């Protein structure tokens, strides 16, 4: 890699004159200095995507599918490199990138290779009696995508794959903090034989490159994953040129434990579901509501598991949890916990930045924070209502089933949720009443390529992964063709009287 812009099938240097130091949040060491894109680079990337569009959109679904299958093979060959680079730029433990981020991305690629051949519409038919109607599912055009830093490789894949499987071309802007694996992914696309210009990556700042991409008149669809605040700004800009928008925004997932739940499963599920990716996961369990009879045992069990989690060098395969993505993010998380202390919360585990790792690593240089369990706060507390995006779980008790479900729905967000019960009726009721794009029963976190991921309420709209996402990257055209060969149609009477 020379320059850090991937445009028209090659690396180029950004022209903004600015650069950005990508650092490893485990110890602050420099991973790579990247040049940042200016608006001219965004223009060049969009122009490349526009040039590549006719050929790619015109390729057969089978040809696009073959290319994606080759991409899956290239990614598999480079799996170790992707895992190491992802760990270095984010601080993720190597076991997470090796067992989750990279294989998940390869599986997604294989899924979209299949889905590319499955552009569905309604059956062709003579609905009026005098015409044959058919549906064409066509690509939307040049897609502009903006991704966050929490799962850089997976987010790049979730954006790029459905877009190109459906015949669009794309310009992706990854987060400033974590551009490296998105660039590697774009290069892998070229190496897999996907034509130059189909996949472009610009690594600029949100306020400049991001806003320019979202506002660009040639871009016909904007797919954004990030915070709700920035999502609103993106939607405002996109509406000026009436672009299709797809917004995957913040989350504050509830974790509802009914009194008949398998307590051991719920405790383990809560610890894993809240700490995955150091809690920087938009679907992570953040608010556990536990029915009163199980409450004390649940808090004690989760606190014990939290205290046993091993923080340390992310490259050590024994390490469970790495740092947060940056010192700034760590300080933001610590701020939520300090304010909670000041309004009387009980910190049942963690609540501090540790100094030594399980493996003797000095953690003081990194953005580490101990898994933190908070109790003793009300539903209106900041830690219950706002997205913290760190290894923090808040637990609150409830009495009736109605109360538990009402509290679960009582935030502006609606991305994901889980219900823990061994009673089928309770499970069915919870899955019906919880307002979220995904409700798990007796688990929390697993995702699969075949099923959609996306929000309700302030968590946005639009689905990633699955056939639903492929459909969103297409536009539907109705083609209606006369089959009567009659020059004067009956309906003309409404315009020409009886003549
Ligand atoms: P962020 O909103 O700060 O940034 C996301 C991206 O937007 C970055 O690439 C950034 O450069 C860009 N950006 C910033 N300002 C912009 C602007 N004015 N115009 C255009 N682009 C701009 O989010 P983040 O801090 O990188 O990621 C964390 C957030 O992402 C959390 O809120 C999390 O819940 C959310 N998230 C949601 C999902 C989901 O699927 N719903 C998945 C992952 C993360």
- Output the six-digit token pair for 44: 């060049």
State the chain's mean pLDDT as an integer. Answer: 97
Q: Give how far Cα 341 sits from Cα of 160, 345, 346, 347, 348, Å.
A: 42, 5, 7, 7, 11
Q: Is 288 left (phi over 0), alpha (psi -120 to 50) or beta?
A: beta
Percent of the chain with pLDDT strictly greater than 70: 99
Helix residue ranges, H only, 18-144:
39-58, 61-77, 79-90, 94-96, 102-115
CATH ID of 5-248+468-479, from 3.40.50.300, 1.10.3720.10, 3.40.605.10, 1.10.10.10: 3.40.605.10
* Mutation test residue for ligand 1: of 37, 230, 453, the one with most atoms within 8 Å of CB: 230
Question: What was the pLDDT predicted at 119?
Answer: 81
pLDDT in tens, 161-219: 999 999 999 999 999 999 999 999 999 999 999 999 999 999 999 999 999 999 999 99
Nearest of 101, 20, 486 to residue 314 by alpha carbon: 101
Whether ligand 1 lies within 6 angstroms of the CB of 8 is answered as no
Q: What DSSP letter does each residue of 160-214 carry, written as one string?
A: HHHHHHTT-EEEEE--TT--HHHHHHHHHHHHTTPPTTSEEE----IIIIIHHHH
The Cα–Cα gap between 207 and 345 comes to: 37
CA distance 147 to 172: 8
Nearest CA to ligand 1 atom 43: 282
Q: State residue 87's pLDDT score.
A: 98
Instruction: Grade residue 123 by pLDDT with cuts at 50, 70 and 90.
Output: confident
Residues of the chain with CATH 3.40.309.10: 253-441
Centre of ligand 1 to C-alpha 429, Å, is 33
- Identify whether 248 is a catalytic site residue: yes
How much is the pLDDT for 2? 76
What distances in angstroms separate CA 267 from CA 276, 322, 365, one per listed residue?
Answer: 14, 21, 31
Mean per-residue pLDDT, 298-323: 98
- CATH 3.40.605.10, the chain: domain bounds: 5-248+468-479
> Which residues have C-beta within 8 Å of that of residue 338, sequence separation ≥ 6?
none
Report phi then psi at 64, rounded to 5.
Answer: -65, -35
Residue indicated by tokens 């940042």: 36
For the segment(s) 253-441, the CATH number from 3.40.50.300, 3.40.309.10, 3.40.50.740, 3.40.50.1100 is 3.40.309.10
Q: Please tell me the distance from the alpha carbon of residue 236 to that of residue 403, in angstroms, as a whole number.
A: 36
Residue 230 Cα to ligand 1 middle (Å): 6
* Mutate which of 108, 147, 148, 280 for ligand 1 pocket (most atoms within 8 A of beta carbon): 148
Cα gap 372→363, rounded to integer Å: 17
The string of DSSP letters for 227-270 reads -HHHHHHHHHHHHTTT-EEEEE----EEEEE-TTS-HHHHHHHH
Measured in Å, residue 351 CA sits from the centre of ligand 1 at: 26
- Distance between CA atoms of residues 489 and 482, nearest Å: 10
Q: Is the pLDDT of residue 4 over 80?
A: yes
Q: Using the mean position of ligand 1's atoms as its centre, give its distance from the Cα of residue 179 in Å.
A: 13
pLDDT of residue 25: 98
pLDDT at 120: 79
CA triplet 174, 176, 181: central angle to 5 degrees?
50
For the question of whether the overall pTM of this predicted structure is more than 0.95, the answer is yes
Residue 323 CB–ligand 1 contact under 6 Å: no
Contacts of 206 (CB under 8 A, 6+ apart): 146, 173, 176, 230
In ligand 1, the atom with minimum distance to the C-alpha of 329 is 25
Query: Atom 12 of ligand 1 has which residue's CA nearest to it?
Result: 206
In 309-435, which residue ranges form alpha helices assigned H by DSSP?
A: 327-342, 382-385, 401-408, 424-433
Q: Where residue 103 falls among pLDDT bands split at 50, 70, 90?
A: very high
Residue whose C-alpha is closest to residue 122's, from 482, 480, 484: 480
Whether pLDDT at 1 is above 70: no
Cα radius of gyration (the chain): 25
> Which of 86, 187, 211, 248 does the annotation list as catalytic?
248
Q: How confident is the model at residue 499 (pLDDT cuts 50, 70, 90)?
A: low
CA dihedral 394, 340, 373, 429 (to 10 degrees): 0
Cα–Cα distance for residue pair 475/477, rounded to 1 Å: 7
Distance CA 368, CA 350 (A): 11
- Rounded to 10°, the helix 263-275/292-308 angle is 50
Confidence label for 106 from pLDDT (cuts 50, 70 and 90):
very high
φ, ψ (nearest 5 deg) of residue 256: -105, 120
Res. 109 pLDDT band, cuts 50 70 90 = very high
Q: Is the minimum distance from the CB of 146 to ligand 1 under 6 angstroms? A: yes
- Kindly give the distance from the C-alpha atom of residue 248 to the centroid of ligand 1, in angstroms, as a whole number: 9
What confidence tier does 225 reach under pLDDT thresholds 50, 70, 90? very high
């Amino acid at each position: 890699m020379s320059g850090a812009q991937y445009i028209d099938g090659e690396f180029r240097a950004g022209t903004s004159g600015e650069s950005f130091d990508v650092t490893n949040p485990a110890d602050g060491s420099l991973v790579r200095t990247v040049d940042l894109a200016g608006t001219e680079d965004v223009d060049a990337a969009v122009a490349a995507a526009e040039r590549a569009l006719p050929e790619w959109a015109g390729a057969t679904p089978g040809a696009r599918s073959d290319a994606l299958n080759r991409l899956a093979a290239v990614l598999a060959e480079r799996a170790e490199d992707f895992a190491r680079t992802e760990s270095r730029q984010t601080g993720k433990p190597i076991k997470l990138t090796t067992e989750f981020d990279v294989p998940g991305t390869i599986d997604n690629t294989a899924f979209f290779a299949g889905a590319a051949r499955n552009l569905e519409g309604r059956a062709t038919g003579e609905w009026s009696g005098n015409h044959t109607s058919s549906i064409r599912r066509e690509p939307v055009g040049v897609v502009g995508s903006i991704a966050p830093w929490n799962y850089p490789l997976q987010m790049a894949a979730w954006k790029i794959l459905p877009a190109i499987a459906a015949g669009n071309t794309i310009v992706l802007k990854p987060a400033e903090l974590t551009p490296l694996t998105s660039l590697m992914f774009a290069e892998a696309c070229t190496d897999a034989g996907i034509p130059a210009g189909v996949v472009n990556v610009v690594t600029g700042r949100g306020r400049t490159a991001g806003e320019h991409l979202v506002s660009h008149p040639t871009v016909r669809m904007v797919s954004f994953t990030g915070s709700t605040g920035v999502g609103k700004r993106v939607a405002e800009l996109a509406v000026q040129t009436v672009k299709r928008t797809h917004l995957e925004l913040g989350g504050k997932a509830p974790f509802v434990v009914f009194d008949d739940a398998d307590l051991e499963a719920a405790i383990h599920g809560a610890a894993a579901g809240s700490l995955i990716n150091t809690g920087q996961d938009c679907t992570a369990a953040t608010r556990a509501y536990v029915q009163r009879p199980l409450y004390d045992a649940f808090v004690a069990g989760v606190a014990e598991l939290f205290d046993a989690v091993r923080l340390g060098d992310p490259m050590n395969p024994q390490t469970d949890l790495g740092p947060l993505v940056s010192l700034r993010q760590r300080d933001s998380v610590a701020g939520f916990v300090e304010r909670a202390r000041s309004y009387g919360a009980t910190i049942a585990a963690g609540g501090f930045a540790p100094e030594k790792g399980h493996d003797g690593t000095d953690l003081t240089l990194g953005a580490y924070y101990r898994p933190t369990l908070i109790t003793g706060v009300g539903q209106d507390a900041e830690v219950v209502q706002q997205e913290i995006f760190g290894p923090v779980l808040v637990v609150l008790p409830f009495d009736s089933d109605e109360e538990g479900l009402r509290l679960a729905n009582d935030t502006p967000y609606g991305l994901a949720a889980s219900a823990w019960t061994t009673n089928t009726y309770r499970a069915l009721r919870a899955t019906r009443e919880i307002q979220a794009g995904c409700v798990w029963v007796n688990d929390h976190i697993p995702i699969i390529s075949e099923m959609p991921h996306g929000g309700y309420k302030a968590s946005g709209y639009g689905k990633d992964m699955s056939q639903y996402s492929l459909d969103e990257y297409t536009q539907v055209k109705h083609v209606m063709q006369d089959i009567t060969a009659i020059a004067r149609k009956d309906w003309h009477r409404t315009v020409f009287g009886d003549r």
